[in-house]
């Protein structure tokens, strides 16, 4: 379960931001999670409950914003949403497309008190 590691990194980022802003509590954590990320939302929630305990982020609401898997074609510049792992460019049928979003897991913002 690599979610423990990614949740630790996430909490670390949150606590550093909170400390920098002299927060006494974190009420909400807004996260970005790519549809094609291997991170499971439920696992992050599960580990956060455990490792967030006794930190100022304890009890914070986790809000996940899902990002679809998107690719871009270097040939014609078309950006498109990847459906069922079909990476073929809908513009020129090219196949050398690159993923531009959908695999990320990061902290977007936090709300503090």
Q: How far is the CB of 61 from Zn ion (least distance, A)?
A: 41
Which positions touch Zn ion (CB under 5 A)? 73, 75-76, 78, 89, 91-92, 94
Q: Which is nearer to Zn ion, 13 or 99 (CB)?
A: 99
Q: Which is nearer to Zn ion, 5 or 77 (CB)?
A: 77
Q: How far is the CB of 37 from Zn ion (least distance, A)?
A: 25
Residues 30 and 112: their CA atoms lie apart, in Å, by 11
CA dihedral 86, 91, 93, 96 (to 10 degrees): -70
Q: Which of 35, 33, 39, 30 has the alpha carbon at shortest distance from 61?
A: 30
Residues 11 and 18: their CA atoms lie apart, in Å, by 10
Q: How far is the CB of 36 from Zn ion (least distance, A)?
A: 20
Q: Which is nearer to Zn ion, 80 or 105 (CB)?
A: 80
């Amino acid at each position: 379960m690599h979610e423990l590691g990614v949740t630790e990194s996430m909490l670390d980022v949150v606590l550093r931001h909170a400390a920098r802003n002299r927060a006494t509590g974190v009420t909400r954590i807004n996260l970005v999670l790519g549809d094609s990320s291997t991170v499971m939302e439920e696992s992050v929630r599960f580990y956060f409950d455990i490792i967030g305990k006794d930190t100022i982020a304890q009890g914070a609401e986790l809000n996940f914003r899902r990002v679809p898997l998107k690719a871009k074609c270097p040939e014609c510049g078309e950006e498109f949403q990847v459906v069922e792992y079909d990476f073929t460019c809908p513009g020129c049928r090219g196949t050398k497309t690159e993923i531009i979003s959908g695999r990320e897991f990061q902290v977007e913002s936090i709300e503090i008190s």
